[in-house]
Structures are given as C-alpha cells and as structure tokens.
Amino acid sequence: MPTTLTSAKEWAAVEFGGVDLGDRRRCPRLRQVAASLAQDPHGTLPGSFCGWSQAKAAYRLLEEPDVTYDRVIAPHLERVRTACHQAGEFLLVEDTTSLDFTSHLAAQDLGRIGDDGGQGLYLHSTLALRIERWNPQQEPEVIVEGLFDQSWWARTMPTIGRGKEKKRKRLNRPRESDRWAKVCPEVGPPPEGSQWTYVADREADIFETFGRCQENLWHFILRANQPRALADQGGSVFTAVAQGPEMGRFSVDLRARPGQGARRACVAVRTCTVRLRAPWRPGGAGEPCSVQVVEAREIDAPPGAEPIHWVLLTDWPCSRFRQALRVIQAYTRRWLIEEYHKCLKSGTEIEHSQLATAQHITALLGILAVVAVRLLHTKLLATTRPQDPVRPEEVGPEALTILEKKFGRPPGGWNNQSFLVALARKSDGSPGWITLWRGWRKLMLLAQGYDLAKGGRKCG
C-alpha cells in the first residue's frame, strides 16, 4: 500500500501513474484530477476544484470516449494484485452494493436498483487485506492493500417473477449470481508462499463458489445461507454442526447497530466435517464438496437483542478450538468491505454525480473507488500500526504545524494514533471513518491555505 498519509499529488502519481488513456496528454490531467478529488472529494466536480476552468477540464477529461472505468482503475488493480503475490496471508473480501442515481433523472444508460423503483448501478468489489499478525485472541490484524477486483453493471433485463421461468432455462442464461468468486478463475492460483482466502457473506453461498475456489487453490470462508443437503448422511449443514460437541467459548465486543446498542457477547463454538451434495445442473450433478463447518452461537443474549448465530463453511483446519476461533475472527473482518462501500458513497459522494451517462459516471467512479481505499486504510493505521511515526514529508509540514498550533506536539512526536485522534478532534477512543474524513478534508484545505499565504504552490 502506498503511504496513505502522503500528499494527494504523490498518492495520485503512485495510483494512476501507469494509466493508458489513449493520449499521453490525458495522463497528467487524470493525476491532477485524482489529486484534487483525494484532497477534497465531491461527486459534483466543482466542489473539488478551485475554479471553474479546472472543473471544466475535469469534465472534459471524464467525457472523453477513451477515459473509461476499466482504464482508469487498471493501474490500481495491477498494483494490488502484485502486492498480493508476495509471501503472506491475504483475505480477499467480496460484497455488492448499489449506487443510487434515482434523483438524477437526466442520466442515461442506468439500470434498475433495489425493488426496481429507482435507477442506478450495481458495484461488486473484492477488497484485499494483508494479515500483519494474529493477536492472542486469534484476531487477524490487517492492513488494506486495496481493490483486488471491482466491476459494475446496469440491471436492464426484464424482471422475471418467481416461478415464471423454468430452472433449466434460468441456469443456462447469464445470471447476476455468477459474479461471486468470478475473480478466482480470472486471476488464477496464488504463487507459492502466498495464501489467499476468499471471504463473503450468505449471498455467496452458491455451490459454484466452492468449486471456483478449490479449482484455483484459493481458501474460502463463507457464511452458510441455506440448509445444504449432505452427501453421506441425512440432515443439513445446520443440523450436523448443531449436533457436534462444544469446543470452547470466547467473548466478543459487538458494535452498535440500528435498534441495538453495543454489548459484549459470550459465544459457543462447534465444528464438524461434512461432504456437501452437489446440486443438479444442466448436464447432471457434480461431485460432492468436502468442507469444515464452524458454528458460532451466542449464549444468554440479553432480552430484545438478536443473538449471534453464524454457520461458516471453510477449508481451513478446524480440529482444535484455536483453529476454529481463527476462522470466526477472520470472518469478522468482512465488515471492512461494508465500511469501504460506506466510504465510497458517503465519504466521496459518488451518488451526487451529475455526469450525463453511465460511462462518464463510472470514469469518475474509477478515481473515487481508489480514493475510498485511501480513507479506509488511513483509519486502520491507528489500530494496526498505532506507534509508527508520521513524518512531515508524508502529510506536509503545513498540516503538522496546524495541528500543533491547536493541540500541541505529542510527547515523542507524531505517530499514526496521535495524528488520527487529532485529525478527528477527539481526546479518546477510536474515531469513526466519517469523522476522520471530515477532519482530513478540513486539514488539507487549511494546509493549502497556509501554503498559499506563504507564497507556495498554486491552488490545484
């Protein structure tokens, strides 16, 4: 991961330096646009630039036919995949979100979203996390490498009601569900010494997901969604693991959710090994698939609270409690893909875009998707590398001068934790990403004004 707390200009040079836009004159312009968006992101471009001439130049760039989403984001994907070919453990976390442009009635080439009452695009992201270490609680401490893969589409095919299409016809046509683990055969197996584990929620519980992972030597941790039948015995994955012996218990701090406050939960762990019966597909049924099943069930949840109950399917070893606990704790890092999508939508405000077509909107998305990675990684620095020093050349001496005027210089100098806490203007606790984002944007604007007052670089 390139230094997250570096200047926007240097960051843009790393992330978009190798872009191919069909004309070499467009590459410096893209880096300038990306730097401005990283420093002060807005879905509506005028808010990110100092004057109309610069905003107009950004519009012209994004409306060029050769400036497409795939070309803009290609250098970032290449950088991340290269990083994941190094030795180490990586979690590749997938999820899908929708981008809502219902209020942008003039936009062309969009599709239906949600219950088909709105218009927009769907976005499917694979976020690469490098495991730095495992702590004594068997929690993986991770850093964000970036986007391993990302794709978008507009839902334009007619809505087909439940039961109105025969199963054979449905299985023989392209389906949106084909997106899960599609990246596995596209990228292929990891190199020797590198372990890739595919992580996804219940929507990815499709038999083809297991096959794609196994054929390409990817490990997997998936949350079970349906009572899959077993090949060698009666019952399902749910009944099989519920009958297994309890291996141990652990405590976990749960974040607050809508309607439920934060709490500490006691969770019992059970495991078993099963062979899943392959479902029917055109051409016949496939071979059974062997998986480990790990159940995490909350004990004595408080009244009114929804208890934790996860059933996870994996190929990680689970014969000991410590191993099963690692599977559960690795799955808990799935929330980072949700944080990434929140950051993309609320932080970079991509849904505020007023560009005219899906191609123009997604060209902007190619930039803002990488900007969102920058913010997410910044937040994690405070927890994964809290004591690493922050050097003036990384954030700019102007930024540290402004913080020291307000908060004073920390004993021992600035590190990731003290810098991010000051950025969020909090005296304790871990700042949320929205708070961090607002603080970062304000600090960058103040630093730019400070530099201009000294006769430094021009705006933009």
pLDDT digits (tens, 9 = 90+) for 121-136: 999 999 999 999 999 9
Q: Taking residues 428-432, what's their average pLDDT?
A: 57
Q: How far apart are CA 119 and CA 102, in angstroms?
A: 5
Q: Is the distance from CB of 394 to CB of 365 less than 8 angstroms?
A: no
Q: Is the distance from CB of 242 to CB of 309 less than 8 angstroms?
A: no
**How do residues 201-227 score in pLDDT, each as one tens digit?**
999 999 999 999 999 999 999 999 999
Provide the pairing of β-strand 118-134 with 111-113. antiparallel
Q: Is the distance from CB of 312 to CB of 327 less than 8 angstroms?
A: yes
Q: Taking residues 295-314, what's their average pLDDT?
A: 92
Helices 433-453, 358-384: crossing angle, 10 deg rounding: 100
Q: How far apart are CA 445 and CA 452, in angstroms?
A: 11
- pLDDT at residue 3 above 60? no
**How do residues 242-267 score in pLDDT, each as one tens digit?**
998 899 999 988 877 777 778 888 99
pLDDT band of residue 460 (cuts 50, 70, 90) is very low
Q: Which residues pair with 236 in a beta bridge?
A: 229
Token pair belonging to 389: 């020093």
- pLDDT at residue 168 above 60? no
Higher pLDDT, 440 or 226: 226
- pLDDT at residue 166 above 70? no
Provide the H-helix boundaries in 40-150.
52-62, 69-84
Q: Which residues pair with 293 in a beta bridge?
A: 272, 313
Residue found by looking up tokens 């004073």 in the block: 408
Domain 88-340: CATH class, spelled out: alpha beta
Q: Is the distance from CB of 371 to CB of 41 less than 8 angstroms?
A: yes
Report pLDDT for 434: 64
CB hemisphere CA count around 322 (13 angstroms)? 5
Q: How many CB atoms lie within 10 A of CB 367?
A: 28
Q: Is the distance from CB of 310 to CB of 332 less than 8 angstroms?
A: no
- pLDDT at residue 432 above 80? no
Domain parsing of the chain, residue ranges = 88-340, 386-460
Q: How far apart are CA 308 and CA 387, in angstroms?
A: 33
Q: How far apart are CA 188 and CA 177, in angstroms?
A: 20
**Segment among 19-28, 75-84, 202-211, 387-396 with least mean pLDDT:** 387-396
Report pLDDT for 165: 60
**How do residues 94-152 score in pLDDT, each as one tens digit?**
999 999 999 988 899 999 998 888 999 999 999 999 999 999 999 999 999 999 999 99
Q: How far apart are CA 207 and CA 200, in angstroms?
A: 13
Q: Any idea how long the chain is?
A: 460
Report pLDDT for 160: 54
The residues, any chain, with a CB within 8 Å of residue 308's CB and separated by 6 or more, are 252, 254, 265, 267, 296, 297, 298, 301
- pLDDT at residue 67 above 50? yes
